[in-house]
């Protein structure tokens, strides 16, 4: 998954994928065990039983962090946070005292994978749910994880939580999200890890064609689907937040910066300034991960000082399009797990 750990044997790690004719192809064979109300896969929704393991650097994990916060699931689902970089084996809990997760009592998420699958052959990725009663990974299927948090965990949602996956909009959410995933979320990686000029040119064209489509879609509507934030917006936001700091330069997605695409830039700022989005974004971790871990793309490991991120705090004017972030609901309270002030100085400007 995106920036999750463990692929082949190279230093890229964070990319669970392979190459077909020198074009990056993501491996989407995740652990599909689900946590549901009826426990049909053997794992029942239960407050306090599961730990969500994430890395703030990873866009796929960032989705789960946003959804957990918007829905107020902090008391029901604890969260372990890995550091922004990792070695060949997996993400590590190097932010915790002694380098050990205080709940799972392991130094790296790989241990939870191997506890369940001693010969696990695939990437050791985040996000992942771990069953604290067994210490075993349950799932790393990032897309299903957020949908299940939105639907299967409803009894534990906070009062005023938004409906991020309303039943009557689910088909539209998935329809809109499909090209976002293939052309944008995954498209930036196809640009960055292209092995030939032709592969890069194709990925670049597909990426910006879809960004232009989204620019037009969002010109007359505040959110991607419906009149309040949904799962579709969460899926797009985490790529947009990383676009100028990382993808524009590091992955050669440089036709234009996000702040040069006026509609998408206003849309991204609108979400960033909404509780749950900007306050879960750790720019320091994002830059450290991509520029340090991807040594085949950035051999020196130098982390660039820019760009200036203060423009994320500027007015966006999207309120004029109608709608409201949470529909009939309310914003979440202050974050439980706070991004350090020097990792996201924009928040002090809001």
* 185-198 per-position pLDDT tens digit: 999 999 999 999 99
Least confident of 15-29, 53-67, 81-95: 15-29
Model pLDDT, residue 271:
98
pLDDT at 202 over 50: yes
Please check whether residue 41 lies inside any domain of the structure.
yes
CATH code of 197's domain: 1.20.1050.10
The pLDDT > 70 percentage for the chain reads: 92
**46: closest CA among 79, 73, 81?**
73
CATH code of 61's domain: 3.40.30.10
Is position 312 annotated in a ligand binding site?
Answer: no
Determine the average pLDDT of the residues in 84-95: 92
Boundary of a domain, candidates 133, 156, 179: 156
pLDDT at 13 over 60: no
Model pLDDT, residue 29:
82
Please check whether residue 112 lies inside any domain of the structure.
yes
Please check whether residue 252 lies inside any domain of the structure.
yes
Please check whether residue 8 lies inside any domain of the structure.
no
Please check whether residue 298 lies inside any domain of the structure.
no
Mark whether 112 and 212 lie in a shared domain: no
Model pLDDT, residue 26:
58
Q: Look up the domain containing 210 and give its range.
A: 170-281+304-349
Mark whether 118 and 238 lie in a shared domain: no
Q: What digits encode the pLDDT tens for the residues 246-294?
A: 999 999 999 999 999 999 999 999 999 999 999 999 999 999 999 999 9
To the nearest 10°, the Cα dihedral for 109, 112, 116, 118? 60
Boundary of a domain, candidates 87, 122, 156: 156
Determine the average pLDDT of the residues in 302-331: 97
Give me the active site residues, please.
Answer: 58, 189
Confidence of residue 24 (pLDDT cuts 50, 70, 90): low
Mark whether 95 and 189 lie in a shared domain: no
Mark whether 143 and 230 lie in a shared domain: no
Mark whether 320 and 343 lie in a shared domain: yes
Q: Where are the alpha helices (DSSP H) in the chain?
A: 59-71, 110-116, 142-151, 170-179, 187-192, 197-217, 231-242, 248-250, 262-272, 283-288
Mark whether 137 and 92 lie in a shared domain: yes
Packed helices 142-151 and 231-242: angle between N→C axes, nearest 10 degrees:
140
Cβ(46)–Cβ(74) below 8 Å: no
Please check whether residue 80 lies inside any domain of the structure.
yes
Asked if the bond preceding 286 is cis, omega within 30° of 0, the reply is no
Boundary of a domain, candidates 105, 132, 156: 156
Mark whether 196 and 324 lie in a shared domain: yes
Mark whether 33 and 128 lie in a shared domain: yes
- CA distances, 278 to each of 66, 199, 274, 284 (Å): 9, 33, 7, 13
Q: How far is it, in rounded angstroms, from Cα 88 to Cα 73?
A: 32
Mark whether 87 and 218 lie in a shared domain: no
Determine the average pLDDT of the residues in 107-136: 96
Q: How far is it, in rounded angstroms, from Cα 59 to Cα 242?
A: 8
Model pLDDT, residue 25:
61
Please check whether residue 163 lies inside any domain of the structure.
no
Our count of domains for the chain comes to 2
Please check whether residue 142 lies inside any domain of the structure.
yes
């Amino acid at each position: 998954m995106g920036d999750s750990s463990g692929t082949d044997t190279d230093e890229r790690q964070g990319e669970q994928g392979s190459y077909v004719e020198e074009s990056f192809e993501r491996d989407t064979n995740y652990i599909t065990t689900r946590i549901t109300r009826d426990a049909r896969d053997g794992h029942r929704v239960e407050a306090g039983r599961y730990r969500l393991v994430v890395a703030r650097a990873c866009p796929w994990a960032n989705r789960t962090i946003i959804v957990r916060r918007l829905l107020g699931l902090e008391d029901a689902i604890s969260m372990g946070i890995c550091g922004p970089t990792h070695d060949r084996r997996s993400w590590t809990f190097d932010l915790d005292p002694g380098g050990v997760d205080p709940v799972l009592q392991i130094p790296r998420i790989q241990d939870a994978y191997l506890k369940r699958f001693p010969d696990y052959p695939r990437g050791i990725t985040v996000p992942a749910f771990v069953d604290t009663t067994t210490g075993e990974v349950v799932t790393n299927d990032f897309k299903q994880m957020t949908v299940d948090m939105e639907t299967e965990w409803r009894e534990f949602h906070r009062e005023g939580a938004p409906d991020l996956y309303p039943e009557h909009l689910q088909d539209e959410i998935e329809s809109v999200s499909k090209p976002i995933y293939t052309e944008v979320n995954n498209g930036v990686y196809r640009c960055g890890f292209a092995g030939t000029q032709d592969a890069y040119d194709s990925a670049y064209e597909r990426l910006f064609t879809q960004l232009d489509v989204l620019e037009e879609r969002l010109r007359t509507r505040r959110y991607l689907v419906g009149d309040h934030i949904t799962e579709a917006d969460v899926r797009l936001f985490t790529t947009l937040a990383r676009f100028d700091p990382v993808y524009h330069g590091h992955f050669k997605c440089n036709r234009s910066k996000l702040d040069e695409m006026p509609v998408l830039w206003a849309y991204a700022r609108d979400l960033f300034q909404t509780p749950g989005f900007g306050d879960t974004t750790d720019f320091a971790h994002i830059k450290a991960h991509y520029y340090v871990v991807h040594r085949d793309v950035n051999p020196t490991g130098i982390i660039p000082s820019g760009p200036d991120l203060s423009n994320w705090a500027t007015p966006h004017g999207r309120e004029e399009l109608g709608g409201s972030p949470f529909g009939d609901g309310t914003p979440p309270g202050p974050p439980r797990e706070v991004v350090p002030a020097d990792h996201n100085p924009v928040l002090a400007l809001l």
